[in-house]
Every structure is written in C-alpha cells, then in structure tokens.
Amino acid sequence: MSSVLADLCRYPIVQAPMAGGASGPRLAAAVSEAGGLGFLAAGYKTADGMYEEIKQVRGLTSRPFGVNLFMPQQDTADRAAVEVYRHQLAGEAAWYETALVDLDACGAGDDGYEAKLAILLDDPVPVVSFTFGCPSRDVLDAFDRAGTYTIVTVTTPEEAQSAQWCGADAVCVQGIEAGGHQSTHRDDPQADGSGLGLLSLVAQVRETVPIPIVATGGLMRGSQIAAVMAAGAEAAQLGTAFLVCPESGANPLHKQALTNPLFVRTELTRAFSGRPARGLVNRFMREHGPYAPAAYPQVHHLTAGLRKAAAGVGDAQGMALWAGQGHRQAREMPAGQLVEVLASELDAARTALRA
C-alpha cells in the first residue's frame, strides 16, 4: 500500500459504506479496530445524524475511519414517467396496507451535501469518500488542507481521470459485480448493464491514473483481494462480505437472504431507487424492474414506504436485497474476525503466488 493508506489501516481491507443502515458505528469501529478501514455511510442521513454517528465511532475506537457522502444529483427525471410508475405501484401499496408518498415529496434534493461538508471540514475525520460523482477542486483542496484523505468512487477510466484532475487522493474503482448502486458519475439509461468487470477495470484505470486504487465489486475472499492487488490496486473494499456480520445494521431478512438458496442470482435494477443497483432477484424486482424510470432519488423516496412495510411483515420479496455477485460466499462471523480471516487468506494467496 501507499504510505498514506498504510498509515490508515494495517491491512489493505476497506469496509464498504452501505447506505440504508448497514454501515453504522459498530461495524465501522469493529473493522478499524481489527486493522481494516471502517466506513460510515452518510447517505440518506441528516447532517446531524451523520455527526452523531461520527461521535459514536470515536467513542468505540481510536483508529482511523472514513465517512462516505452522496454527491448532489441533477433533477433530470421525467415527472410523467414517475407518476406512471407510482400508479403501477398502487397494488403494492394496497397489499402492504401503506400509502404511497406524493410526487411533491419525491424531490431530487441534495442529501444535505453542503451541511455535511461543513461538519466534516469543521471537525475533520481521517477519510472522506464520494459516491455518484466527483466534488469540485475547491472542495477536495479544502479537505486536503484539513488533513483528510479523499477517495472518489469511479466506474470508468474517464471518471478516474476526472477525479485525479480535481485533486482526489485516491479512487475507489467499482466493477459491475458490486452490490448496491453503481456509482456512475452520470446516470445514462442507455448504458445500463454495460459496465466493466473489476479486474479489467482496475487494469485500465491503473494505466490511466497514477493515484492509488481501491478495488471493489463482488470481493469475498482474501485470494480475490490478492488478485485485484496483482492487477494494480493497493487495497480492496468489501461490502456484501460484511453485510452478514452481527455488527451490521442490515435487516435480518436481508442477511438471511444472501445465502438462502431461494435467491439464486443478482441483477442490476432501477425498481427500488430509479438508479441501477445490484440486488438479489425477488418478486418486486421481477415485476417492476422492467418499468422503473430513470429517476433517482424520486423512485427511492416513492418506494421507501413499501420497502419498510415489506420488512415489517417479514416479506423479503418486497425488499431491496442489495448484494454483490459473490453473495453466496458470505460468512457469518464478527467483523473483526472476518478482517483477520481475510488478511490470513491474503497472506496465503501471496505466498502461493511467490511460490
């Protein structure tokens, strides 16, 4: 690892920031304490809520950790298309006995971006990463002056080049195998499903930019971490692997579904949020995915009540079960133990490669 990354974590293992409740203070602190780099997900939280979680992590560990921010999204949604989708979901609302929010409550919003920036610059954390775009050079320069290491999530070599030009310290290279949202900087419906696999993408980005690479997308074993590092990454970020840990705040139904033989595959869908995201294929995805408009975060707000109601009655078929392609390899164990196991597997893989 680069000297800065080596100072942040003993092992080249980063816990992915999973918005929606999975990546809370307990998980981030446990990973950092074990020698990885834990992350809080500030997406969908208020600025005050984010700061409360930062204080909780600081009370649980003295090790470095990170906070992930969603970049503000341009409102390009077709309101008529969102209204049609809302009508299509009327049956779901009746089934779960919950009301659908009005379209006026599904505004684009900026996820409290400016307020979160102000807090993180006033009381800096060791690492801040960004999803769904790249901050301006002024923002990244401000974090540099504050002593914060910055990482921009990218899905193409061009996005990596843009992040370097704007002053990012590193890029998190996300392959199409990744669970949850694809972190493209521009949401283009014409490009759905055309993303690159992780190993190919890491190699291309390595030839495009000189800054450190953190690789993410479907990684579940230490041997896979060794593979992406051999391809040019300096560390690996894992999300689904940590989703089943007891410290994870994911719904128990979500955790169980990852290894449940009823859910045999994953797909990219816009059904739950209006943006491409990889999850376990369930009834909701099959029935509504083909008709969901490109409208983020409007669709996310529109389906929020349905997803919550489905979880409340124990119906995994109506939930967003985000998962990477390696979900069947999930191992239920404490997060700190998982970090140690991954590090041991990584060492074994490196030894085998040298031999």
Which DSSP state fits 20? T
What was the pLDDT predicted at 55? 98
Q: Which 3 state secondary structure label does DSSP give 17?
A: coil
Other residues' Cβ atoms within 10 Å of the Cβ of residue 76: 11
Q: What is the mean pLDDT of residues 195-213?
A: 97
What tens digit of pLDDT does each residue of 282-338 get?
Answer: 999 999 999 999 999 999 999 999 999 999 999 999 999 999 999 999 999 999 999
Reported as a pLDDT band with limits 50, 70 and 90, residue 217 is very high
Asked whether residue 77 carries a pLDDT value surpassing 90, the answer given is no
Mean pLDDT across the chain: 96
Tokens of 129: 């990463």
Other residues' Cβ atoms within 10 Å of the Cβ of residue 277: 22
Q: How far apart are CA 176 and CA 339, in angstroms?
A: 24
What was the pLDDT predicted at 108? 61
Residues 6+ away with beta carbon under 8 Å from 342 = 11, 13, 221, 222, 225, 238, 241
What tens digit of pLDDT does each residue of 47-71 get?
Answer: 999 999 999 999 999 999 999 999 9
CB of 151 closer than 8 Å to CB of 170: yes
Distance of CA 138 to the CA centre of its chain: 24
Q: Percent of the chain beyond pLDDT 90? A: 91
